[in-house]
Structure 1
Amino acid sequence: MFEDLAERGFQIEFHSHATAILSVDFPDAIGELGAALGALSIPIEEIIGSGGGETKGTQRLRRALAELGWHKVNFTIEKRINGVQRESISHEVDHVRTFPDGRVIALEIEWNNKDPFFDRDLENFKRLHAEGAISVGVIVTRGSSLQDDMVQLVRRFATERGLESGEDLGSLGLTPTPRQKADVARRMRAGGATFADAWSLSFVKDKYGAATTHWRKLEDRVHRGVGNPCPLLLIGLPSTIVTFDEHLDVGAIAEGEEEQEILAEPTPLPPVTQP
């Protein structure tokens, strides 16, 4: 299952019998996820130009999933006593695949949020699974290799573009804040680093730091039991999805001049009612 992705460096983990459930009940979902993720690539310019926000690559992944029927959904859980509603809780999930026979699988993409978003996703999945609303929860995030190689990837971009000063960044349409400029200058003074080295380290620390959503933060929570006993599929995006051949306009990406992907309004499902 997902052998092609694993060969490309994707991290794949199954928890709480997710392997058996997916292989028996969701073969179509396996194929759809494999196709969408297998086609994913993110030009380095999108990582730089997005400034740590969601890249256009992850927006393309969202669009690919939506085209395959993975839509945003609002789940509502209601508690009623003698037919009178006493409590109502809603859970919004960005990508939900509902099959004609009622089978449901839910997926969240956490490219670069604050890491407590993992707690929210896992607890949502746990509650929805306990109420019988979903069979499996899926989380896609930056894998270990992508997190570990991020400085190297950004440094390669800086070297290939010949970045040697803040003015060079400006010529690309990038405008570091005064704090970011000061951090680069400090790194250059303290260790004699080149501008490319100092800026790469500063950029990654500022935009893709340890407290953001990436594989180790997700793995830590799951191993502590967060989300248990909901069956889970965890997918880590590898550094091999980052490409350097497109030579895109970083400034245009930073300014958001290219079309932004907007998820459709969530579809409300009939409420799950507790007696």
Structure 2
Amino acid sequence: MFDALRDAGFDIETRNHAEAILAGDFPGAVSGLIDALAAFRLTAAEIIGSGGGQAASTMRLRDALYRDGWPKHEFVTRTIVDGVQREAISHEIDHVKRARAGTLALEIEWNNKDPFFDRDLENFQRLHAQSAISLGIIVTRGAALQAAMPDLVEGVLRAEGIGDAAELEAWGMKERTSRQRRMIDGALRLGADFPRAFARSFVADKYGQATTHWEKLATRVARGVGNPCPLLLVGLPLSAVVAELPAMARGPDLFS
């Protein structure tokens, strides 16, 4: 089902017969999901300007899913004993797709702290055990995209002719963490030029190993987190990064 995405560089993994379930019970939902993922694009400049779940690039993917009938939903589980509610647990899911055969739950983790994967997988496990969902889906940064982050950011600065902090601020990026500043100063003292020093420090601080990306997700699933819920795991590819977005896909200014 996902060969076209794999050919485009997406990381795809399924667990607990997920692909058979999707093919047999949710072919229409899968077709729409594949179309939304295949159409996803972002620019390297957006990697610098984007935030977490509300990044402009992520919101384009979310909007495509909303249009295809994948709304946000909050599942609420209540424990009632002799008519008295003892406990209520809620699980808010980014996107839910309902069909006659069941319900699919999807979370997008573009750039969160990696323990969010534990939360998502454990929520899927509980909801599946209660027959509230048939399958869980997680979308995150793919392995090749994660590895290329420093080079992508450095390439933006070189293309824009940005050679120091003042030029970076004039370009539009005024908010940098104190940690990023310290790391940049250290790299400059060791002989790196500003584009390289900024790219390495920025990516390490904002998109580092402790954030949500393919390796962190695959490691958790290999340990059995989320079992026995059927799972579809999707890593967004390096090929999704383009020099410029089509006019219709452009959003607001990166730093507004």
User: 1:82-121 to 2 correspondence within 5 Å?
Assistant: 82-99=82-99, 101=100, 103-121=102-120
Do the aligned residues in 2 keep the contact of 1:17 with 1:231 (CA within 8 Å)?
A: yes
TM-score where L is the length of structure 1: 0.87
CA distance in 1, matches of 2:51, 2:199: 12
Q: How does 1:117-132 map to 2 (within 5 A)?
A: 117-132=116-131
Distance 1:97 1:208, change over 3 A: same
Compute the displacement of 1:3 (Å): 1.4
Q: Name the residue aligned to 2:162.
A: 163
- Report the CA distance shift for 1:17/1:179 in structure 2 as closer, same or farther (over 3 A): closer
SS across alignment from 1:69 = coil
In structure 2, C-alpha distance between the alignment counterparts of 1:7 and 1:55, rounded to whole Å: 26
TM-score (norm. length: structure 2): 0.93
Q: Percent identical across equivalent pairs? A: 51
Quote the offset at 1:202 in angstroms.
0.8
- Is 2:219 aligned against 1:220? yes
Q: 1:71 to 1:250 in 2, by over 3 A?
A: closer
Query: For residues 68 and 244 of structure 2, what CA distance do their matches in structure 1 show?
Result: 28
Distance 1:118 1:57 in 2: 20
Q: 1:133 to 1:150 in 2, by over 3 A?
A: same
Deviation, structure 1 residue 166: 0.8
Following TM superposition, by how much is the alpha carbon of 1:87 offset from its aligned partner in structure 2, in angstroms? 2.4
TM-superposed deviation, 1:145: 0.5
Q: Which moved more, 1:221-230 or 1:73-82?
A: 73-82
Segment of structure 1 superposing worse, 143-152 or 170-179: 170-179
The separation in 2 between residues aligned to 1:40 and 1:24, in whole angstroms, is 26
Is 2:255 the partner of 1:254?
Answer: yes
Give the unaligned 5+ runs of structure 1: 256-275
Change (3 A) 1:156 1:85: same
Aligned to 2:202: 203
Q: CA deviation at 1:167?
A: 1.4
8 Å contact from structure 1 (residues 184, 202) kept in 2? yes
Q: Is 1:22 the counterpart of 2:30 in the alignment?
A: no
Q: Partners of 2:65 and 2:208 in 1: how far apart?
A: 27
Q: Secondary structure at the match of 1:139?
A: strand
| SS at structure 1 position matched to 2:94 | strand
Deviation larger for 80-89 or 204-213: 80-89
Q: Which residue identity is paired with 1:29? A: A
Identify if the C-alpha distance between structure 1 residues 247 and 10 changes in structure 2 by more than 3 Å, giving closer, same or farther.
closer
**4+ runs deviating over 6 angstroms:** 247-251
RMSD, matched Cα: 2.0
Change (3 A) 1:138 1:247: closer
> Which stretch of structure 1 is more off in the superposition, 53-62 or 105-114?
53-62
1:2 is aligned to 2
Greater Cα offset, 242-251 or 28-37: 242-251
Partners of 2:251 and 2:173 in 1: CA distance: 8
Structure 1 residues 188 and 53, CA, compared in 2 at 3 Å: closer, same or farther? farther
Aligned length: 253
Write the letter of the residue equivalent to 2:254. Answer: I
Match of 1:61 in 2: 61
CA distance in 2, matches of 1:129, 1:183: 44
Question: Residues of 1 paired with 2:246 and 2:196: CA distance?
Answer: 21
Partner residue, 2:173:
174
What is the identity, as a one-letter code, of the residue corresponding to 1:253? L
Q: Is the 8 A contact 1:46 1:250 kept in 2?
A: no
Q: Distance in 1 between matches of 2:179 and 2:23?
A: 50
